Structure 1
């Protein structure tokens, strides 16, 4: 199943692969203020826990860079290219995830081996993994729009020829050229799909800009990949496009131009009329979700696939913590705290009953003794008085502990369990005495999440009267000398805990 977020909507397409054309078995779209919320909503509707989910990264998440292959074994390309990529992207590549797609050698006469290298910043990878985990799901794979659209373009290829596919989206458009099912070239074009449905003047201007970018790409393809001819360009026209769009493009572009009809390449009969957004017209996001769902079919055909491997996780460092995982641990700790509190309550009740029995025996003995008795009676009275003092002291101590534990500590844990913040999770809680000596620690993907979390926490009765007097934050570093992991650790301390910490530091 392929999933792609298009603005505030999450698209999902499930495809089955047989001997003939691939067929869309199910399609859906849900409102999604965030990827995590959309996945949770979709999971309630479709039960995605057992599905193989292929997630589409946003177009601005990763960078696709055309760069020659290094002179090292294929398995070492990603590491060898890391240093060269510094000049091609505007973010740090030291801890970025990198994968390399090789361009088919049959397209050119040159001795060099061109590649299309995809660079994904670690924080983007962590965020999309955390969103899935918050929804109780797991990604089978992650794709980028270029490779997803490649899977669709490959369906329209003629034997021995390359094929170009242009799709218009809400924010921009994407052009890909494929050969033998592999991606050869890709270009993002800053032309919105809404321009195709606007006034004639605006439409003609947008088509002129798009045609110029298409011509530049085709010219570069023919110079670099002269051993393969281009069969033509298929254009995905947005719903409501003017009738003159295709003729205008045909006049501006010298290769054959034809309209893209999804039903010619993919069987949509199972949908009926239930999903007009697929059957009557599609845009770039729809095709990318469909292309992500076609990944198993492309992989079975032996085509290269992106595999973003987190080396830190593979080395045993573990995946990103999520808010749901933190909530699970808080729930476990809360359950343990409540159990301990109930146990202490029962113990205190038994001790209180025993103390009352001792008091009754003592009162009866005191009433029966009106005159000085023999020494053995005096000793027994003194022993009973001593027992009474011990039982009274024990009852007072237990009542204090039960109050602090069953009422104070468990309520703190339950309050933490009720308040969750995507991207922020609690890893530790230390409480002493009556709860005023409190220390709370956790992790977050961005420091900007902490103020909002504290405001929500103040709404809880057990935290409304508490104020944190000290905060510590530091970037998480997996190994000494390595770059930060993109996750920030924080520690919050109450007044008593902060004073105790300061006293410990001052003590030599």
Structure 2
């Protein structure tokens, strides 16, 4: 199973994310003209028993009509930035395994690995550039594949949250400029910067959505300060490393109406770029799923929708 495998048998993606209390599912299609269409959004409780959850999903859907992707949870994979090996394309994977063997906390032979390029400045030729390597334990990949096989659902792609967020970011990018996108969930925060459809930066922030939901004013202000400081450092460093990219603005993923407004106002006053809040209705056709008009639903399904927005990746 490849992280970025290709399969063009069906149109649209049915993305599944298994979370602590439920499984979330989103189906998105991309018409030739107009916004991507959110065709379906649903969830199933008690995702701890993956096979039973998938069997329940199969009962409610005509499974063979969809391409399925499963998004790994944070902690089930590592996304590592490494210098691109100077080797022919057909030797890249092996060379990357040597690069990663001392970066993982388990043996490299127990890892499934794939790579994602970070395009360099086209005006500068011959300079080494970075790549992202995705690594996950073989055991995790095998267990996920077996669960889908036992449930009778074809699994086409195993995906990751960082690329799911990139898929949303691409819809928001101004022409010729980069876009920073910041999300929070129960696992923490994720800052990404995309440019020309590519993921250039992915950085975790050790602040979770429940922490943002605190009612204590002093605690909330301290958390906001930490977020602003982390953003300023990360974006300043990004600007120094990628001088050919101008980041147009920071967009906050949905967090709920009150938190989104408060955090937007704080960040707009404390960082150097414009700050906006994402509304999926601006970039998706959500007419078939009106519940997504609510910010709470947008927050809960943010990553799953991002996974369903995937385009086929360039396999290296």
Asked if TM exceeds 0.5, the reply is yes
SS in 1 for 2:80: strand
Distance 1:305 1:13 in 2: 24
Matched, 1:116 2:132: yes
How many residues are paired up?
A: 298
2:72 aligns to what?
57
Moved over 4 A (4+): 107-110, 282-285
2:236 aligns to what?
219
Question: Displacement of 1:74 after TM fit?
Answer: 2.0
Question: Cα distance 1:107–1:290, how it changes in 2: closer, same or farther (>3 A)?
Answer: farther
Q: Contact between 1:132 and 1:138, CA under 8 Å: does it hold in 2?
A: yes
Question: Displacement of 1:56 after TM fit?
Answer: 0.4
Matched, 1:164 2:172: no
Q: Contact between 1:173 and 1:284, CA under 8 Å: does it hold in 2?
A: no
Question: Displacement of 1:221 after TM fit?
Answer: 0.9
Question: Displacement of 1:158 after TM fit?
Answer: 0.9
Question: Displacement of 1:33 after TM fit?
Answer: 2.4
SS in 2 for 1:21: coil
Question: Cα distance 1:304–1:203, how it changes in 2: closer, same or farther (>3 A)?
Answer: farther
**If each structure's strand is expressed as a fraction of its own residues, which one has the higher value?**
2
Which of 186, 191, 214 does residue 175 from structure 1 map onto?
Answer: 191
Question: Cα distance 1:149–1:73, how it changes in 2: closer, same or farther (>3 A)?
Answer: same
SS in 1 for 2:301: helix
Q: Contact between 2:254 and 2:299, CA under 8 Å: does it hold in 1?
A: no
Question: Cα distance 1:16–1:283, how it changes in 2: closer, same or farther (>3 A)?
Answer: closer
Question: Displacement of 1:282 after TM fit?
Answer: 4.6
Matched, 1:37 2:37: no
2:91 aligns to what?
76
Distance 2:258 2:90 in 1: 46
Which of 131, 145, 150 does residue 129 from structure 1 map onto?
Answer: 145
Question: Cα distance 1:89–1:287, how it changes in 2: closer, same or farther (>3 A)?
Answer: same
SS in 2 for 1:98: strand
Distance 1:107 1:59 in 2: 33
SS in 2 for 1:266: coil
Alignment root-mean-square deviation, CA? 2.0
In the superposition, the TM-score normalised over structure 1's length comes to 0.56
Which of 17, 41, 47 does residue 4 from structure 1 map onto?
Answer: 17
CA deviations over 1:131-169 (Å, ceiling 9, x no partner)? 111211121111110111111100000111111110111
Question: Which structure ranks higher in relative contact order (CA pairs < 8 Å, sequence separation ≥ 6)?
Answer: 2
**If each structure's helix is expressed as a fraction of its own residues, which one has the higher value?**
1
In the superposition, the TM-score normalised over structure 2's length comes to 0.88
2:223 aligns to what?
206
Question: Cα distance 1:282–1:108, how it changes in 2: closer, same or farther (>3 A)?
Answer: farther
CA deviations over 1:350-389 (Å, ceiling 9, x no partner)? xxxxxxxxxxxxxxxxxxxxxxxxxxxxxxxxxxxxxxxx
Question: Displacement of 1:211 after TM fit?
Answer: 1.9
CA deviations over 1:281-322 (Å, ceiling 9, x no partner)? 356662221121112xx22xxx5369xxxxxxxxxxxxxxxx
1:478 aligns to what?
none
Distance 1:183 1:193 in 2: 23
Q: Contact between 2:74 and 2:187, CA under 8 Å: does it hold in 1?
A: no
Query: What does 1:338-353 align with in structure 2 at a 5 Å threshold?
Result: none
Question: Displacement of 1:51 after TM fit?
Answer: 1.5
1:246 aligns to what?
264
Question: Cα distance 1:90–1:150, how it changes in 2: closer, same or farther (>3 A)?
Answer: same
CA deviations over 1:192-221 (Å, ceiling 9, x no partner)? 112332212222222222222222221221
The structure with more radius of gyration: 1
CA deviations over 1:16-64 (Å, ceiling 9, x no partner)? 1111110101111011223222212221222323311011011111111
Question: Displacement of 1:229 after TM fit?
Answer: 0.4
In structure 2, the gaps of 5 or more residues are 1-13
1:13 aligns to what?
26
CA deviations over 1:454-505 (Å, ceiling 9, x no partner)? xxxxxxxxxxxxxxxxxxxxxxxxxxxxxxxxxxxxxxxxxxxxxxxxxxxx
